[in-house]
Amino acid sequence: GAVVSQHPSWVICKSGTSVKIECRSLDFQATTMFWYRQFPKQSLMLMATSNEGSKATYEQGVEKDKFLINHASLTLSTLTVTSAHPEDSSFYICSARRDRGLGGYTFGSGTRLTVV
Amino acid sequence: AQTVTQSQPEMSVQEAETVTLSCTYDTSESDYYLFWYKQPPSRQMILVIRQEAYKQQNATENRFSVNFQKAAKSFSLKISDSQLGDAAMYFCAYGAGGGADGLTFGKGTHLIIQP
């Protein structure tokens, strides 16, 4: 149980275009999902917290107009990288909480974004 | 703000031996969780072990155990009988007990298993 599906696993896009990444909890409802970014050989950095039915909360330094997050249902959160540039190339990982207060975080398999 | 520090960028251990990965953290919260995650080359984050701060007993999962020293804010991971499949990046992570916040990760330790 507690599976999080992230799609696509990799994507290449041209500069100036937008890319959408989906994160789905397959067998549980996730009122809160998290989006992380990981540069090569570095750690995961929290970008934003996505709450179902409300606006996402962004970490300091993360451009909310560039990284649009939508959490329209209890099983789906999307991250859209708008007007992508080469510096947005990175590995993006989502995570969903299974149970509040029980420390149950499940991670998606990640999306490798390359902007050319 | 919470911080997580892993002071060992890389560790190497012989197969079947025991290795300990270090992690320290800083927080003013009283209710929180600590985690060790494994990230193999596939980059899938795999939960290794989890510790609730209110529990004094150290968590254990088969060959993996932690040494949780709350006063010292230390949370080390011991891997016994190391196996080739244990080779990966290991990240220590902190999560606030309320659950509304995401995790804060350390910089990671690259574990090499020598056959």
pLDDT single digits (tens) B30-65? 889 999 999 999 999 999 999 999 998 999 999 999
Here the tokens at position A49 are: 């917290």
CA distance A60 to A45: 11
Instruction: Report the amino acid identity of residue A26.
Output: L
Region of B63 on the Ramachandran plot (φ > 0 left; ψ -120 to 50 alpha; else beta): alpha
Q: Is residue B98 scored above 70 in pLDDT?
A: no
pLDDT band at B108 (very low <50, low <70, confident <90, very high): very high
Phi, psi of B47 (to 5 degrees): -70, 125
Nearest residue on chain A to B50, alpha-carbon basis: A103
CA distance B33 to B55: 10
pLDDT at position A104 is 75
| Percent of residues in chain B assigned helix, strand, coil, to nearest 5 | 5, 50, 45
pLDDT band at B6 (very low <50, low <70, confident <90, very high): very high
The answer to whether A9 touches A112, Cβ cutoff 8 Å, is yes
pLDDT at position B99 is 63
pLDDT band at A101 (very low <50, low <70, confident <90, very high): low
The strand pair at A90-97 and A111-115 is best described as antiparallel
Nearest residue on chain A to B42, alpha-carbon basis: A109
pLDDT band at A103 (very low <50, low <70, confident <90, very high): low
Q: Tell me whether A43 touches chain B (CB under 8 Å).
A: yes
Q: What is the pLDDT of residues A39-63, one digit of tens each?
A: 988 999 999 999 888 889 999 999 9
Per the listing, tokens 């892993």 go with B6
Contacts of A110 in chain B (CB under 8 A): 43-45
Contacts of A97 in chain B (CB under 8 A): 99
pLDDT at position A30 is 86
CA distance B18 to chain A (A): 25
Nearest residue on chain A to B97, alpha-carbon basis: A101
B interface test, pick of A105, A111, A113 with most B CB neighbours within 10 Å: A105
CA distance B68 to B15: 25
Q: How many residues does chain A have?
A: 116
With CB atoms and an 8 Å threshold, state whether B107 touches A95: no
Nearest residue on chain B to A109, alpha-carbon basis: B44
pLDDT band at B20 (very low <50, low <70, confident <90, very high): very high
Q: Tell me whether B96 touches chain A (CB under 8 Å).
A: no
